[in-house]
Amino acid sequence: EWNVVLATVAMQMYSGMSDLVGVRRTFIGSLERDIVAWNTLISALVFNGHCQEALEFFPKMPEWSIVSWNLRLNCYAQVYGVDQAKRIFDAMPAQDITSWNLMATAYARTMQLDRAVEILKKIPARNMASWNLTVAAHAGKGDFYSAVECFSSMPEWDLVSLNTMIAIHAQKLDLQSARDLFDCMPKRDLVTWNTMIHANATMETPWASGNSIEIMAIHGVLPHGAAMLSVLKSCAHSGSLPGAWKRFLSMAADRDIPPSREHYCAMIHILASAGQLDEAHRLINSMPYSSDYESLAAMLGACKLHQDVGRGMEIADQILDSE
């Protein structure tokens, strides 16, 4: 048996570990349940992806707080869609900053960005999340002028704000501004690095195919699959076969990143384009995935370029068999 304070703390702990069995067991075994305990239970369900179950508890609650209303709003947005969420929003006895942000996020998730901006403009007092949502919504509409203007109007910036601005500069193909902002950032996280590496890879600059992954690790940020894929694509653009091969082999061996189908496909394309048909074919046959059209097509194109008729016929048969 638990008292309400210990039960709430325990539920928060279990929720952080995604242990919903522990959350439910603690809630059921508590001697009493106040509004905080109820909200903690529902919050655990919502943030672990069990919104439908969370909705079943609202009618059982003896009272609702603003936190309860916001949790219900979040559930409705995810389960029933933005229109039903708006009905909950309008029915709330009062809305706080979280309510407004949740409603704007619901519109943004369904790409109703004009409505998201409209909601955000009505917020009585914005917090950091509101500002960041507004910048992202403007950028999502392609209205970069308003996004930059909003960013410049912010009373302060956090890591999310700066990452969003780097992404905006990258979308505008203004890599110099993105790099200038990147260089002056006091802190960078995985999103920061991934955005810069992807932007440079897309623009086919040597920055991403260079030692960006190594510099990233020196700064204490461990790369993951998306960053490695961008680096491989950048190596493909720059024709750096040794650099690509080195990074591909290091993924599982040194960085504990199992190569995905996309990583294999990128490496096969690089090998084939460089005329390393034996290595490319060997990689196709040894990868732990079924051969996909993209990698086989890259291989077939390379066979044609390098006049390897026999191998080309074999690859063509594989393509036909896979259809």
29-79 pLDDT, tens per residue? 887 889 999 999 999 999 899 999 999 999 999 999 999 999 999 999 999
Two tokens, residue 269: 């394309």
- Band (92; pLDDT cuts 50, 70, 90): very high
For residues 105 and 76, the answer to whether their CB atoms sit within 8 Å is: no
Residue from 110, 107, 70, 74 nearest 120 by CA: 107
What span, in angstroms and rounded, lies between the C-alpha atoms of 278 and 90?
64
How far apart are alpha carbons 86 and 71 in whole angstroms?
13
User: Distances in Å between the alpha carbon of 33 and those of 26, 40, 53, 156, 321?
Assistant: 11, 10, 18, 40, 62
Nearest 5 degrees, angle CA 49-CA 50-CA 51? 100
- What are the backbone dihedrals phi and psi of residue 30, each rounded to the nearest 5 degrees, phi first? -75, 145
pLDDT tens track for 147-203: 999 999 999 999 999 999 999 998 888 989 999 999 999 999 999 998 988 888 777
Q: How many CB atoms lie within 10 A of CB 236?
A: 21
* Residue pLDDT, tens place only, 235-276: 877 777 888 888 888 887 777 888 999 999 889 888 988 889
Nearest to 236 by CA among 264, 212, 201: 201
| Closest C-alpha among 110, 53, 57 to residue 85 | 110
Please check the confidence at residue 1 and state whether its pLDDT lies above 60: no
* Letter string b/e over residues 141-151, b meaning 16 or more CB atoms within 10 A of that residue's CB: eebeebbbebb
Contacts of 142 (CB under 8 A, 6+ apart): none
Give the phi and the psi of residue 288 in degrees, each rounded to 5.
-80, 30
Q: pTM of the predicted model, to two decimals?
A: 0.77
